[in-house]
Structure 1
């Protein structure tokens, strides 16, 4: 078989994780939920719409860089295996697959995602379009499990500025784990990061005029209502996108319009909200070249190449193990 699927998550992994995250969020303050709970089927559709909005430059800028430098990346890495963390539908990865296939080195694509159905659909589509490519898909949570199958040299792609969703401590732990599994000579990391820029441009990217991002943010309340039999009223919360200048990150929040109570029946919990109280649903750190270079070097992954789009909005970094 050209496609293998290794499911490393127990059947109840998502349910247990959601219960744990919600239990913490609604018994402690400040209230915080991980952004992964946006992405049920409806949330994934909304996010796809977000990537096509005029305000949301991130996806377009990253793909522009990939198109401009994919052949160079293929030449520099000579990768036999392409591993992608948080691969989703693998659509933008096709730029790398094309370049590595053209270079004649690629033998295996190894996408990693928490959704088995998404991985299966992407793998079947890629097999049709890349008849000589083998695919080893893994269902795993890359924050705690980093499976890197295949022969070296391996190129690990971590795109979409997903690194920015982690706090500095979480980033340090993640990068240390990643470095520990990059064991083959020539193994490398291709990292996509959003850069610090005018706050107005950043806020527009997370608070579009059509309200798609607001609907995406509130979708986490739909997930809680459905999965935990909660009683969140979506109309009782406003979507907020805030630039935290000190931490240099955009914060997405849901802010209570009025004081009210929410029942979370599956947790036997009542959550009280004061007027103006926030649930922090996502952080999106923005990076500068020198501090990020220092951060990666401390983790044993010093950048060797740095590419940006013409407007210097977004960057791709190629890093190598030391």
Structure 2
């Protein structure tokens, strides 16, 4: 059974080192901050991913037999996926579209926006919740389906990625496919400009810290962010069975403790102690093409096509038969 957000937060606070799971930041406000990050000049990934999605829409959709239902994992605002939807609706009278996000409220707003654009030509249903909750629902759909996962795989720890991909492999039938985008940038300077500008006015800093706001709300606490400093680093790894990644944390500037009223517990931080803003090894993984190939093959997914522009790869995979 999927862990609820309170249980997930408590698990992180009871660990050594303490952490807030990456997924906890993406409430409705966090999703808005995430969208704002796409407008930051140095945030290269969004623009590179949009470019590769346009390339796929122009030349790659011919690889997919119509009709199918499109399921999107971690849909966000759907601006990039609309590029694919627009191309499909140039040739088809309608499209069934199942979209997933953690926040049901955020999904409701996205649906309103989609209806304003496409009307009844886009038949939308929503799948709110984490992936472990959503995969069985997608699996129950017996028609042809294409899964779309833009910028999501890289957000999960290395030890979790195979589990998620195994669920995708078990969800795909013989004629189904999954499209997964991945960050393949290896330029340290570019990465650090994009992900480690910790100016409090910038949306990426607001997004990093949003997990604390969620914690304060869900556990009824009052952790004071002014008593922490945001820090981070880029960890480079060339091993074919691994990936490079970002680590970001809050460092406690003083000894401090806070009551978690909803669970009757207290959490304490020593001076200099880190509160990690991710679970596992890190977040925002950066792959080589060889690392992607190894990862997909290890879970029984076969690469049938791939597009890349030096910053982002969009990989079409199918289940090995």
TM-score range, shorter chain: 0.7 to 0.9
Q: CA deviation at 1:55?
A: 1.4
Contact 1:82/1:154 (CA < 8 Å) preserved in 2?
Answer: yes
Contact 2:97/2:122 (CA < 8 Å) preserved in 1?
Answer: yes
Q: Which runs of 5+ in 1 are unaligned?
A: 1-8
| CA–CA separation in structure 2 for the residues paired with 1:133 and 1:18 | 31
Contact 1:58/1:314 (CA < 8 Å) preserved in 2?
Answer: yes
Give the 3-state SS of the residue equivalent to 2:71 in structure 1: strand
Structure 1 position 65 matched with structure 2 position 52? yes
Q: CA deviation at 1:237?
A: 1.0
Q: CA deviation at 1:200?
A: 2.2
CA RMSD for the aligned pairs?
2.2
Contact 2:9/2:21 (CA < 8 Å) preserved in 1?
Answer: no
Q: In the alignment, which residue of structure 1 is the partner of 2:25?
A: 38
Q: CA deviation at 1:150?
A: 5.0
| CA–CA separation in structure 2 for the residues paired with 1:269 and 1:214 | 28
Q: In the alignment, which residue of structure 2 is the partner of 1:75?
A: 62
Contact 2:26/2:103 (CA < 8 Å) preserved in 1?
Answer: no
Q: 1:174 aligns with which of 141, 164, 178?
A: 164
| CA–CA separation in structure 1 for the residues paired with 2:70 and 2:24 | 27
Q: In the alignment, which residue of structure 1 is the partner of 2:150?
A: 159
Contact 2:35/2:76 (CA < 8 Å) preserved in 1?
Answer: no
Q: CA deviation at 1:259?
A: 2.1
Q: Which runs of 5+ in 2 are unaligned?
A: 238-242
Q: In the alignment, which residue of structure 2 is the partner of 1:198?
A: 187
Normalising by the residue count of structure 2, what TM-score does the alignment of the two structures yield?
Answer: 0.87
Higher deviation after alignment, 123-132 or 86-95: 123-132
Contact 2:196/2:233 (CA < 8 Å) preserved in 1?
Answer: no
Q: In the alignment, which residue of structure 2 is the partner of 1:134?
A: 123
Q: In the alignment, which residue of structure 1 is the partner of 2:317?
A: 319
Cα gap change, 1:28 to 1:150, in 2 (>3 Å): closer
Cα gap change, 1:145 to 1:40, in 2 (>3 Å): closer
Contact 1:163/1:171 (CA < 8 Å) preserved in 2?
Answer: yes
Q: In the alignment, which residue of structure 2 is the partner of 1:298?
A: 298
Q: CA deviation at 1:196?
A: 4.0
Q: In the alignment, which residue of structure 1 is the partner of 2:262?
A: 266
Contact 1:236/1:258 (CA < 8 Å) preserved in 2?
Answer: yes
Higher deviation after alignment, 269-278 or 174-183: 269-278
Structure 1 position 56 matched with structure 2 position 43? yes
| CA–CA separation in structure 2 for the residues paired with 1:137 and 1:40 | 16
User: For residues 195-234 of structure 1, what are the structure 2 equivalents within 5 Å?
Assistant: 195-208=184-197, 210-234=201-225
Q: In the alignment, which residue of structure 2 is the partner of 1:27?
A: 14
Contact 1:89/1:121 (CA < 8 Å) preserved in 2?
Answer: no
Q: CA deviation at 1:88?
A: 2.5
| CA–CA separation in structure 2 for the residues paired with 1:290 and 1:207 | 26
Q: In the alignment, which residue of structure 1 is the partner of 2:240?
A: none
Q: CA deviation at 1:151?
A: 5.7
Q: CA deviation at 1:106?
A: 5.7
Q: CA deviation at 1:17?
A: 1.8
Normalising by the residue count of structure 1, what TM-score does the alignment of the two structures yield?
Answer: 0.87
Cα gap change, 1:105 to 1:143, in 2 (>3 Å): farther
Per-residue CA shift, 1:118-141, capped at 9, x if unaligned? 222222332332232222222232
Q: CA deviation at 1:105?
A: 7.9
Structure 1 position 143 matched with structure 2 position 132? yes
Q: In the alignment, which residue of structure 1 is the partner of 2:275?
A: 279
| CA–CA separation in structure 1 for the residues paired with 2:32 and 2:108 | 17
Contact 1:252/1:280 (CA < 8 Å) preserved in 2?
Answer: yes
Cα gap change, 1:104 to 1:211, in 2 (>3 Å): closer
Contact 1:114/1:141 (CA < 8 Å) preserved in 2?
Answer: yes
